[in-house]
Every structure is written in structure tokens, then in C-alpha cells.
Structure 1
Amino acid sequence: MDYERLKPLLFRLDPETAHHMVAGLLGCAQRFTPLFSLIPGLEEPVRDERLSQELMGLRFDNPVGLAAGFDKNGELIGAMARLGFGFTEVGTVTPRPQPGNPRPRIWRHVKEEALQNAMGFNNDGAEALGKRLKKARPYPIPVGVNIGKNKITPEEKALEDYAACIDTLADLADYLVVNISSPNTPGLRDLQNEAFIAELFAMIKEKTDKPVLLKIAPDMSEASAVTLCVKAVEVGAAGIIATNTSIDYSLVAHPVDRGGISGRPIREKSFAIFEAIAKELFGRALLVSVGGIDSGYEAYRRIKAGASLVQVYTGLIYRGPGLPTLIDRTLLHLLEKDGFSHISEAVGVDRR
């Protein structure tokens, strides 16, 4: 059975239940690799030096990564490598375990090929993640750790939560991502201001020399996003991830009244913010684009706009486990078509 035939069956299930089923299968296959042959739509990953890059002192075999949120607790790193991802990002993790928001907390908008989630940073906590990461080393692909604050932590003490995550996890992460852009933790997006960013990265510099990226929301004005990201780079951010989910509920026909929208409807909003940032910061910081990427053509558009790396999540739900390999194959075709011998020649070509 291919994924397109399986998808209607999966989509009859509650989205969170379906996710746990898929994650369970991937976890079993990670322990007993012949089970990967049973996963519909999965193909052998692309291995081609034309897609490899050295970034942040790390080797990325290809530029396609899994965005944070799918593997919150670092349980599927080996499986993501087998799916063909060039890197993966675990979390968002908080210092203390928390259950997240009440269910239901994730919804599909099937016609729009979107998800809407109000998960609320449900995770096992930094200590539990650290133990899993230790067992998973050496990692088959680069692993980023996306960190956030606990829901019960007041805004004025948010810095302490980020510091606690760094103390526990920095040595186990290939890179870190500061998440101040989820719409599902009250007050979190209020931290998207220059004063907090300066204070945050001053603290980070004292604690780790690992590369740290800032992930921003797509709902800021382009000018505000650029100002914030420039400030972040000036005070020590190694790069920017743009963007998180959107609270623009006009993007789908039948939204619920909470959570953030991801997938195809945020594609242009995410691209517009990313391009504005890239016009200012390309060549000065690592740029990662995420939001509505579900094909090699869209990934290539982001790469030409200045993204060294791209990430997917919702596209994986709608396109299936073969998506990373499909994107890689399309990228190779487009590189050849445009006369590029290596992906680095295409990165930011629209900015030059």
C-alpha cells in the first residue's frame, strides 16, 4: 500500500492518535530495521555530495530537516535519518515536564493541507530528554534541541527556564534553538523584543559556545521581524529560523479559536517574512526556512532566497514519509537544470 491509499485511513483517526501510531511504528522500526520496509511510501534516502554542506561546524548530508514538534522527546532520531532527513530538531523541551493543553489540541484542515495545533509544549522535560540523547549518541545526523519555557513560569522569570535547558542540554545538542514564537504558551510571543533578546543571548554566551538560533513567528510585521533578527545576530545568534505557526485564522475556512496554523496556507506569509530577513542577513547568519514547504520546488525557492537549510513538518503528514527523498531528488534535478554543480551555488542566488 502506498501512502496516498493509507492516508484516508489515518485521517479517520484523531490527529494526535494518528501521530502516536506513526511514531510508535517508526520507533519499532528504529529498533528492528526490517520494519522500515513496511512503511508505505518510504524509499532509500538520496546520498549525493552535491547536496552536502558544512554549516556551524557540522556536516549536513542534505538540506532537508524535520522541524521541532514532531519528535518532542528525542525518541526518533535514528528513524528520521532513515527517512532521509539531513538533520532533525527535537523539542520544544521545557525545564520541567508538562502535559500541555487539554485534548483535543490538534486539528486537520484537509482541503487546505494544513494543521492547527494548540499542543502547549507537552514534553517529558529537559532531564528525560538529556538521558535519551546520551543513549542516541553518536547521532546519525545533526540534532538540534529546541528550548522553551514552562507554562507556569512567569514572563519575568523566563530567562531562568532557558538557562536551565541550556545547562542540561547544551553539551548534548549539535545546535540549540530558542523558541519564543509558539502561540500556545501564554505570554511567550511577548518575549519577541530586543531587550529580552539582548539579555537572553548575553546569558547564552556565558553558558555555551554551541551555535544558537532564534525561531520567530510569521505574524510580526516584516520590519519588526527584521529589526528583531538583526538584533539577535548582533548579540550572538548564529542564525534565524523563520517561521513558526501562524495565528492568522483567516488562512483556513473553518479554524478553531486557539493554536497555530501550519502547512500550505502559511506558505506565502512565511516566505515573505523569510525573504525580508534574508535581504538583510544573508551572508551574515545561517538562515533556515520553514512553513508550508511540501515539495522540492518550494524548498528550492527558499534556498535561492537565502536558506542554507529548510525544514518540514505538516508536509510530511500530507505527503508521507517519502517527502525528504522526493525533495532531495527534485533539488538535484533543479540544480542540474540551472547549471549548478553544488547546492551552495544555489543558496542565496536571488540575493546576489
Structure 2
Amino acid sequence: MVDYFGLMKKCMFNFSPENAHHIAEFFFKQGANLTPFILTPLAERFFIHDKRLEQHLFGKTFFNPLGLGAGFDKNATMIKMLTALGFGHIEYGTITPEPQSGNAKPRLFRYVEQESIQNAMGFNNEGMYKVGKRLETLYPFATPLGANIGKNKTTTAENALKDYEKLIKRFKDLSDYLVINISSPNTPGLRDLQNEQFIKDLFVMAKELTCKPVLLKIAPDLAMDDALHVSSTALENGASGIVATNTTIDYSLLPNAKDFGGISGKVLCEKSFAMFEALAKEFYGKTTLISVGGIDSADEAYRRLKAGASLIQVYSAFIFKGPSLNRAINLGILERMDQDGFTHINEVIGSDRR
């Protein structure tokens, strides 16, 4: 059988990472316009629909636990195609109130040998009005959608709460859950918002604005005690879950790493898992946990589920391995469930905690 993705990857990797992404986005958008001629055969190939993988979370059915993490579909332009490629949920964004172009280029770097990526994009997106308008023609959607939201670069810390208020109001009816992003390393001062008072004010406000689940995404570089405290504060004030983790600024993980931006991919795996494990020990059974960071195989996905993740997300591995990864992970989870005698994914989730 012809390895079409391998051929496409070889071609795409001749382009800069950002140009390659733009090319992929163009074809994904065009392909979605050819429904059902493109989407149906893709879904038949890559989308694994097995009742044993289904979960009901946030008032929605998640057909499988594997989602696409924020950052790939920044402007919610590729949702139909990405669903056909096998994702059980899609997190679009990060979206800011006003459009912004992001940081100076080059700002995206691929490390092929390490299957990792370093990005300093800086929340480049079309802004909440244009993205929201696009979603008004699509939502509600069969596949659960998450809105990842962040403040504008020019917004001061004193006014950050107002940015998140605008974003929650805009996307509460255009998503199935929202994720507060105050953990990206690419917006100056953003990680400083990972403090008790801001998080308390933020989630008290969010609870007043919407009944939709609002989750907190945290950085892998926080001290464990700080991560636990930040997460606890969020949950005590209305957060519906924790997403762990964002990219890391531990530049020792890569050879010849740039001294800016965040690192994702295979080299983040153990750092991300260590943070997730600490959070799961404290919060499993009390809230919804989503694990992201370095997941690139069924083995790793299964490890995160057993540790307590209800959902898992990929990003870098999707770029390096393509949609066959989605199929392999979901089928691999089912295979490991059979080996361990589990009849439903709910039995897998948190089995290492019990």
C-alpha cells in the first residue's frame, strides 16, 4: 500500500514549519468543502467508533478519548476535516479578543530527529469576532469542541480579567467547554497570571457568566507545590477540570534549542507526565483531567488514561506521524483493554489510582 502520508510529509518538510502548516490548512479547508466525497472515506479509514471508547462528559458524547490540542486549528477553519481524521474532540484557538499577528518570524522550529517542535507564535489569530462568526455557521457540532482563550499581548495584567470576560461571553455558546490559557510562554507576563488571586477572580467570574465547563491549562514548569495550589484554587472557585500541560521553557530538552518559545513533542513526554501524575494523585475522582504533552503512541496514551486522564490530546505527534496516529492510538487502547480485561474505557481511567 502506498504511504501517502509519508510522501506528503517528505514534501511538506521541505517547507518551513509555518509555511507547511499554512499549506496543510489550505488543503484541509478545501477538502471540507467536498463533503462527502473527501470526508466520508477519510472517516471510514481513520475514525474509530467503538462503544467501548465512548464517554459522556460536559454534557456531550466523546466518541473516543483522543483530541487535538490547541494551537493547530487556531481559527477554527479545519474542524470538519480534523474530525474525519479521527479526533474525538477538537480544541480550537488560542483565541484573543482582538486579532493579532503574533511574534516576529521565524517563530516555529521543527526538530525531526527528536519529533519535537519549538514555537514562539504568540497567539496569532483572527480575533474573537471573526472566529466566532465562523463558528456560528458550524456549532453545535457532533464532535465536542473546546475553545482555548487567552489575553491579547497588549493587554496589561490589570486589564487581563476583562479580556477573559469578553472571550467567555463570546464563546460560551460556540463551544462545549472552554480552556483558560494563562500558561503559554509566548505572551509576555501571561504566566504571571498563574497566581491565587487572579485565578480566584477569573473562575468566580466565569461561573457567573456561563454554565459551560471552564478548565484551566497549566504550565509544566511550575513547581509541583505551586501547580497543586494553583489547580486547587481554580477548582475551589468553579473550574470544571485541569488540562496538563502546556509547552515547556526547559531548553535543556533539545540540542541547539532557541532561547525563546515553548517546546512540545516527544522530549516533553516525561516532564508532562510527571506534572500530570502529581495532579492526578491529588485530584483524580474530584474533577475532569485532560493530559497533553508528548503523547505519541497507544502505550503513552494508555499510561495517561490509567493515571487518571479522562481525555488525552496530541499536537506535535500528529504533525510527525499523521492521521494514522489517531487510528493507531484508539485501536491500541482497545487492544490493551482486551489484554487487561477492561470492557469499557471508564474502567481504564484512573485504574492506577485505585
The 3 A distance-change label for structure 1 pair 37 and 49 is closer
Aligned ranges 1:43-54 → 2 under 5 Å: 43-54=45-56
Contact 2:140–2:174 (CA<8 Å) still a contact in 1? no
| Cα distance in 2 between the residues matched to 1:23 and 1:274 | 31
TM-score, structure 1 length as denominator? 0.97
Q: Classify the secondary structure of the residue corresponding to 2:172.
A: helix
Q: Does 1:110 align with 2:112?
A: yes
| Aligned match of 1:238 | 240
Paired position in structure 2 for 1:280: 282
Q: Which residue of 1 aligns with 2:14?
A: 12
For 2:173, what is the secondary structure of its paired residue? Answer: helix
Q: Is the 8 A contact 1:42 1:322 kept in 2?
A: no
- Within 5 Å, give how 1:46-85 maps onto structure 2: 46-85=48-87
Where does residue 201 of structure 1 map in the other structure? Answer: 203
Give the corresponding residue for 1:340: 342
Does 1:139 find its partner at 2:141?
yes
Name the residue aligned to 2:273. Answer: 271
Q: Point out the more displaced range, 86-95 or 318-327.
A: 318-327
Distance in 1 of aligned mates of 2:143 and 2:222: 32
5+ residue gaps in structure 2?
none
Counterpart in the other structure of 1:297 = 299
Q: SS at 1:81's partner residue?
A: helix
Amino acid aligned to 1:91: G
Q: Which runs of 4+ in 1 moved over 6 A?
A: none
Identify the residue that residue 179 of structure 1 maps to in structure 2. 181
* Aligned twin of 2:131: 129
Residue identity opposite 2:337 in structure 1: L
For 1:213 and 1:336, locate their aligned partners in 2 and report how far apart those are by CA, in whole Å: 32
Measure the CA separation in 2 of the matches of 1:209 and 1:46.
30
The amino acid that maps onto 1:273 is M
Are positions 1:95 and 2:60 aligned together?
Answer: no
Kept in 1: contact 2:180–2:214 (CA 8 A): yes
Distance (Å, rounded) in 2 between the aligned partners of 1:161 and 1:321: 35
SS in 2 for 1:158: helix
> Greater CA deviation, 67-76 or 24-33?
24-33
The answer to whether residue 309 in structure 2 is matched with residue 307 in structure 1 is yes
**Separation (CA, whole Å) in 1 of partners of 2:8 and 2:41:** 12
Q: Output the CA distance in 2 between the equivalents of 1:217 and 1:49.
A: 33
In structure 1, which of residues 253, 256, 265 is the aligned counterpart of residue 255 of structure 2? 253
Preserved CA contact (<8 Å) 1:229 1:240: yes
Identity of aligned residues (%): 53
Tell me the secondary structure at the aligned position of residue 344 of structure 1: helix
Q: How far, CA to CA, are the matches of 1:234 and 1:168 in structure 2?
A: 24
Between 1:73-82 and 1:233-242, the stretch displaced more is 73-82
- Counterparts of 1:149 and 1:139, CA distance in 2: 26
In structure 2, distance between residues paired with 1:35 and 1:212: 34
SS in 2 for 1:262: strand
Q: Distance in 1 between matches of 2:44 and 2:12?
A: 16
SS at match of 1:350: coil
Given residue 119 of structure 2, which amino acid in structure 1 is its aligned partner? N
**Alignment partner of 1:310: what SS?**
strand
What is the identity, as a one-letter code, of the residue corresponding to 1:82? Answer: A
Does the Cα contact within 8 Å between 1:242 and 1:270 map onto a contact in 2? yes
Q: Is the 8 A contact 1:28 1:35 kept in 2?
A: no
- Opposite residue 33 of structure 2, the aligned amino acid is R
Alpha-carbon shift at residue 79 of structure 1 (Å): 1.0
Q: Over residues 109-164 of structure 1, what are the superposed CA-to-partner deviations in whole Å (9 max), with x where a residue is unaligned?
A: 11111000000000000111111111112312000000100000011110010001
**Structure 2: how far apart are the matches of 1:117 and 1:7?**
19
CA distance in 1 between counterparts of 2:8 and 2:95 reads 31
The Cα of 1:37 is off from its aligned counterpart by 8.6
- Counterpart amino acid of 1:156? E
Contact 1:241 1:288 (8 Å CA) reproduced: yes
Q: Which runs of 5+ in 1 are unaligned?
A: none
One of 214, 218, 221 as aligned partner of 1:212: 214
What letter matches 1:25 in structure 2? F
The answer for the alignment partner of 1:31 in structure 2 is 33
TM-score under structure 2 normalisation? 0.97
Shift, 1:36, TM fit: 5.2
How many residue pairs get matched?
351
